[in-house]
Structure 1
Amino acid sequence: MELEKMANGHHESDIIRENGFDALDKMTEGDTFLPSKSNGKIETQFTDFEGKTSFGMSIFNLSNAIMGSGILGLAYAMANTGIILFVVLLIFIAVLSAYSIHLLLKSAGVVGIRAYEQLGYRACGQPGKILAACIITLHNIGAMSSYLFIVKIELPHIIEGLMELPKNSTPWYVDGRYLIIIVSVLVIFPLALMKRLGYLGYTSGFSLSCMVFFLISVIYKKFVTPCPLEEEPSYNKTVLTELLTYNSTDDMCEAKLITINPQTAFTIPIMAFAFVCHPEVLPIYTELKNPSKKRMQNIANTSILAMFVMYLLTAIFGYLTFYGNVQSELLKMYSTKDTLMLCVRLAVLIAVTLTVPVVLFPIRRAILQLFCPDKPFSWVRHISIAVCLLILVNILVIFVPSIRDIFGFIGATSAPSLIFILPGIFYILIVPEQQEPLKSRPKIQAIAFVTLGFIFMIMSITFIIAEWITGVKASGGH
């Protein structure tokens, strides 16, 4: 099989590259290799799939994969870092995320196939393949669970706010357990049946438009919300009382440029994980029309830049609305009787719901790569995996009350692995020594990148354990 040849390093392009034939520079688009070049060298032709997804739809899908529930905690992160430190950290993390995707794409170019699991196989053999598949599966199941957990908690409140419900009774349609089943069956499952991830570009675009509406509303509320907050009678007095216990009146309406406090360290991993999209990068690359490393890197850079702008604006205007009083989830700060903010809550729920199918695709691909990589496409397997995953996630969200703690710990290990550790290790082991020696600048940068990943992992696990011991919660999520 072609996959086996590529996995064993016997792909024809590898042999030709080693011989260094100059004639390759004159090959046309219809020949064996892609026409794009990297540092004067022809990139490997990908034979795993012929993509048909446009550049724009790929941006929508990757942006939707980046955008997560963590955006609701960024204003809180700014309150605990200050505006300047927050901006510096966000820029730093966005650049690191783009660099991480560069390492993935460079490694994929050497292997000749765009599958995370195959990169693991090429780098570390069968253990590497299994490790990559397991990390992707656990991380994305955690992401799916967190999204549905938001639906379970918030959707009943939205229905109660938009409808006049009978007193002293709780209808079944405001029970979060029933609602997530209904949403999974009517919305998520049909989208998860799509054969290709590229088809979800339209729903991803709509999901992003919902988040743009959220951003516009946050900006609008900044200019109509009085400060100090106790002047506004519609806000939750219990929340304000708790907040004012820990914040002096002098700090209530004062923006801090740099802030260092015990919560500052907790916010750094939250911001780092705000750009997690790496399990979706290679599947999107697989389905891209006219694929090349440069084209896919441009998609990644555009998506990261767009999300950087949304993250920054949300954090700034959310922080400048509530200042030091902002909570870990921004929407909780707004009145539950405000019709506009009820619509915003609904838009956010729609956005996270439409993200679930995008997150599901890499899990299904990982399972297929692990158990039947050489078998042709089968609708039975395609549908069965989607059904099993949705049933599993629904059961977890319905019956496990501490699901966020469980997957918080998994996320503390899987997110640094996907962002920093695995891309760096793949790059170091897959790119040939004759092309880039271990002491070369790119390899040294990759080693430093992996080291940074382990530091982030240790920090995240430490914070999770500190939460369990002290009961002090850190905000965020993906």
Structure 2
Amino acid sequence: MVQAYHAVPVSVEYEDADNGRPTDHEGSALLGSGTSGVGIAKSEVQKEGHATLTSSVGNLANTIIGSGMLTFPRALASSGIIPGMLTCAFCGAVSAFSLYLLSTCGRHAPHRRSSFFAIATLTFPRAAVFFDAAIAIKCFGVSISYLIIIKSLLPNVVASLYHDLSSPDTNPPAWALSGRIWISLVMVVLVPLSYLRRLDSLRHTSYIALFSCAYLVLIVVLCYFRPIEGMTPPGEVHLIKFTPSFLSTFPIQVFAFTCAQNLFPIYNELKSNSQKRMNIVIGTAIGSTTLTYEIIAVFGYLTFGSHVSANIIAMYPSTSLFIAVGQLAIAILVIFSYPLQVHPCRNCLDKVFHFESANDKLDDEAVADEHVAGELTPLKHTLLTAAVVGGGFTIAYFVDNLEMVLSFVGATGSTTISFILPGLLYWKLTKDDPNKNKLLNLSALVLAGYGSLILVFCLSYNIYNVVHPAIGNGLA
């Protein structure tokens, strides 16, 4: 049996973001049977956010940017410059709209306790635990893919740097070319970062990761104006030319903006999290990443034309120290993006496991209060983090390629988190409100429908690749 929760308005005093003066904010609290609304309100008021706009933008942008940006020049090659740039901007705009809907939904949850589970409990209570399970699986899969990328990339980086910084006749030691050794060493850094409770604590690593991304942009732009010896000669360049590979590159553009799993933690931790300030965070993060993708896509495509591959950094000769450092920058970017997947995965698993615990003890008021507050006990925090990090490391250590499995996880999980849930949750919360914005309410439903179409298309495409791998690879 699912425990029912309802929204109770709570008057909360907090500092207004625009003028710095205390104002009355009409919030909501999810209350289980036997929970005191006044008690929850007082405890929540004391827990204000401390994250700045800069750190919030940095963490959200780092959640967005990943290895997918390396494929954007290939996306332009599949459709031409103009359609490729338009689809990139479209995907960014749709992602920004979905994040806006989620941020407005967050105001219906307990003060500083917004989450997919909290909002789903208000809208689709029987499905709330399944939503969190889907998010956890998706984030866990992405975290594994990051470790596999690190495992395959760092040995190449070492070989390139060793070639450039030492005698050409000498080779690096065998251990330095072992991917398994490298991910074992990297875990020394990642484990402490993964145990951090607040997303804002990862702001410094996000800044480093974004600097690494800027270095890649520098490589792509400079190598267009001053090509390096040994580069592949450019092929044809078209303003508009659709090819069959567009079917595989468009979903990559769609999923390159996935970051909704960290929207609620950022919302909860942002100081004075008014909608205006959240709009600044969302707009800046999406706008900057869209601009980054566009620059990499255009200059990468203009440099190599129709000969561009699905990994733009691999197109440049690693015999150049400038390029070798760029490969290291990509590795750093992926390394510091890993904790941003562990954080939401752990939180969602807590909701999934606590859901069962709460249902077994519906009469236990303490359990209900903990369920509302959403705090992880030190023991649960330790165990869940160890399970996520340890399980992901074990899989990545022994497996070299999870591409097919992750493609199915991405097609279902990313689409659900990024489009279907934001649209459905906002639509459900506002559909009976007499003062609702009818156009916005309808647009939210359209977003959910768009996500459903993307899900069906990507699933169908993945199944087709499994059944007809030769044809599928040809399209890609």
So what's the TM-score if we normalise by structure 2?
Answer: 0.83
- Name the residue aligned to 1:182: 185
CA contact (8 A) 1:114 1:283 kept: yes
CA distance in 2, matches of 1:464, 1:167: 44
- Residues 1:129 and 1:13: Cα distance change in structure 2 (over 3 Å): farther
Structure 1 residue 432, shift from structure 2 partner: 5.1
- Name the residue aligned to 1:85: 83
Q: Does 1:295 align with 2:277?
A: yes
CA distance in 1, matches of 2:240, 2:351: 47
Within-5 A mapping of 1:32-431: 33=26, 47=44, 49-112=47-110, 113-125=113-125, 127-163=126-162, 171-184=174-187, 186-225=188-227, 232=229, 234-235=230-231, 252-372=234-354, 373=371, 374=373, 376-431=375-430
Structure 1 residue 166, shift from structure 2 partner: 8.8
Structure 1 residue 474, shift from structure 2 partner: 8.8
CA distance in 2, matches of 1:434, 1:72: 44
The alignment partner of 1:10 has SS state of strand
CA distance in 2, matches of 1:209, 1:475: 34
CA contact (8 A) 2:51 2:269 kept: yes
Letter in 2 for 1:215: V
CA distance in 2, matches of 1:101, 1:376: 24
- Residues 1:329 and 1:376: Cα distance change in structure 2 (over 3 Å): closer
CA contact (8 A) 2:217 2:295 kept: yes
CA distance in 1, matches of 2:11, 2:132: 26
Structure 1 residue 32, shift from structure 2 partner: 5.1
Q: Does 1:29 align with 2:22?
A: yes
Structure 1 residue 357, shift from structure 2 partner: 0.8
CA distance in 2, matches of 1:206, 1:135: 30
Letter in 2 for 1:93: C
Q: Which runs of 5+ in 2 are unaligned?
A: 13-20, 28-40, 355-370
Letter in 2 for 1:180: I
The alignment partner of 1:52 has SS state of coil
- Name the residue aligned to 2:31: none
CA distance in 1, matches of 2:127, 2:120: 4
CA contact (8 A) 2:244 2:475 kept: no
The alignment partner of 2:433 has SS state of coil
The alignment partner of 2:8 has SS state of coil
CA distance in 2, matches of 1:463, 1:198: 37
> Over residues 267-309 of structure 1, what are the superposed CA-to-partner deviations in whole Å (9 max), with x where a residue is unaligned?
1111111111000011111111111122112101100000011
CA distance in 1, matches of 2:103, 2:204: 25
- Residues 1:133 and 1:91: Cα distance change in structure 2 (over 3 Å): same
Structure 1 residue 253, shift from structure 2 partner: 3.9
CA contact (8 A) 1:328 1:475 kept: no
The alignment partner of 1:258 has SS state of coil
> Over residues 366-424 of structure 1, what are the superposed CA-to-partner deviations in whole Å (9 max), with x where a residue is unaligned?
12233343464433322322222111111221223441211111111111111110011
CA contact (8 A) 2:10 2:26 kept: no
- Residues 1:457 and 1:338: Cα distance change in structure 2 (over 3 Å): same
- Name the residue aligned to 1:37: none
Using CA pairs below 8 Å that are at least 6 residues apart, which structure has the higher relative contact order? 1
The alignment partner of 1:9 has SS state of strand
Q: Provide the aligned C-alpha RMSD in A.
A: 2.8
Letter in 2 for 1:122: L
CA distance in 1, matches of 2:171, 2:318: 19
Equivalent pairs, count: 428
CA distance in 2, matches of 1:215, 1:473: 28
Letter in 2 for 1:179: W
Letter in 1 for 2:263: V
- Residues 1:67 and 1:375: Cα distance change in structure 2 (over 3 Å): closer
The alignment partner of 1:177 has SS state of helix
Identity %: 26
The alignment partner of 1:364 has SS state of helix
CA contact (8 A) 1:267 1:474 kept: no
Structure 1 residue 47, shift from structure 2 partner: 3.5
CA distance in 2, matches of 1:418, 1:376: 22
Q: Identify the range of structure 1 (56-65 vs 135-144) with the bigger mean alpha-carbon deviation.
A: 135-144
Letter in 1 for 2:150: V
CA contact (8 A) 1:82 1:259 kept: yes
- Residues 1:167 and 1:467: Cα distance change in structure 2 (over 3 Å): farther
CA distance in 2, matches of 1:93, 1:474: 25
- Residues 1:103 and 1:474: Cα distance change in structure 2 (over 3 Å): farther
- Residues 1:284 and 1:475: Cα distance change in structure 2 (over 3 Å): farther
- Name the residue aligned to 1:454: 452
Letter in 2 for 1:311: Y
> Over residues 91-113 of structure 1, what are the superposed CA-to-partner deviations in whole Å (9 max), with x where a residue is unaligned?
11111111101111122223344
Structure 1 residue 169, shift from structure 2 partner: 9.0
- Residues 1:354 and 1:169: Cα distance change in structure 2 (over 3 Å): closer
- Name the residue aligned to 2:16: none
- Name the residue aligned to 1:243: none
CA distance in 2, matches of 1:220, 1:274: 24
The alignment partner of 2:272 has SS state of coil
So what's the TM-score if we normalise by structure 1?
Answer: 0.83
> Over residues 31-75 of structure 1, what are the superposed CA-to-partner deviations in whole Å (9 max), with x where a residue is unaligned?
4548xxxxxxxxx99948421111111111001001111000001
CA contact (8 A) 1:270 1:475 kept: no
The alignment partner of 1:11 has SS state of strand
CA contact (8 A) 1:110 1:431 kept: no
